[in-house]
Amino acid sequence: MSNADELEEERILNRIPWEVLAVSFLLAVSAFLIFDIYTGLFVLGGGLFSALNFVWLRLALSKALLREKKQALKTSGFVFILRLILILTIFFIIIFLFSKKIIAFAVGFSSIIVVLLIEAVAAMSRLKTWKN
């Protein structure tokens, strides 16, 4: 892989959390206009949580890849279990305290899927050769 490709990947990975926030902000404004302010805030909160989770995952993977294999597996396993527990805890808190707003939070949290699809289509369009 060339240095230019690595720089492009780095730019994309740095851009994704900001794009997630932008998409969730647009969705939050739409939700605010259609429903109410709390729905918009939960959509925005879901997007913020998704962006932070992406950054945390990226940092954890970067650190894990620099370690020895055995230590990296132990540390990575712990970090990923911790992330899963955090995500489930946040969802359960919202379900128990704000059960009518869980869909709004999930919409914001899922905005990363839209961003990843857009980035994948953009990357595919930049390919010079297509394989048959």
Q: In which band, very low, low, confident or very high, does the pLDDT at 2 lie, cut at 50, 70 and 90? A: confident
Contact (CB, 8 A) for 87 and 53: yes
Give Dmax over CA atoms of the chain in angstroms.
52
For residue range 84-117, list pLDDT tens digits in order: 999 999 999 999 999 999 999 999 999 999 999 9
Q: What is the pLDDT of residue 63?
A: 82
Mean pLDDT computed over every residue of the chain: 90
CA distance 108 to 127: 30
Q: In which band, very low, low, confident or very high, does the pLDDT at 1 lie, cut at 50, 70 and 90? A: low
Q: What is the pLDDT of residue 3?
A: 81
Q: Is 70 exceeded by the pLDDT of residue 21? A: yes
Q: Which of 10-14, 21-25, 26-30, 63-67 has the lowest mean pLDDT?
A: 63-67
CA distance 127 to 95: 43
Choose among 31, 54, 42: nearest CA to 116: 54
Give the count of beta carbons closer than 10 Å to the beta carbon of residue 48: 19
DSSP state of 35: S
Q: In which band, very low, low, confident or very high, does the pLDDT at 46 lie, cut at 50, 70 and 90? A: very high
| 80 half-sphere exposure, CB direction, 13 A CA radius | 10
Percent of the chain with pLDDT over 70: 95
Q: CB-based contacts of 65: which residues, under 8 Å, 6+ apart?
A: 72
Q: What is the pLDDT of residue 18?
A: 97
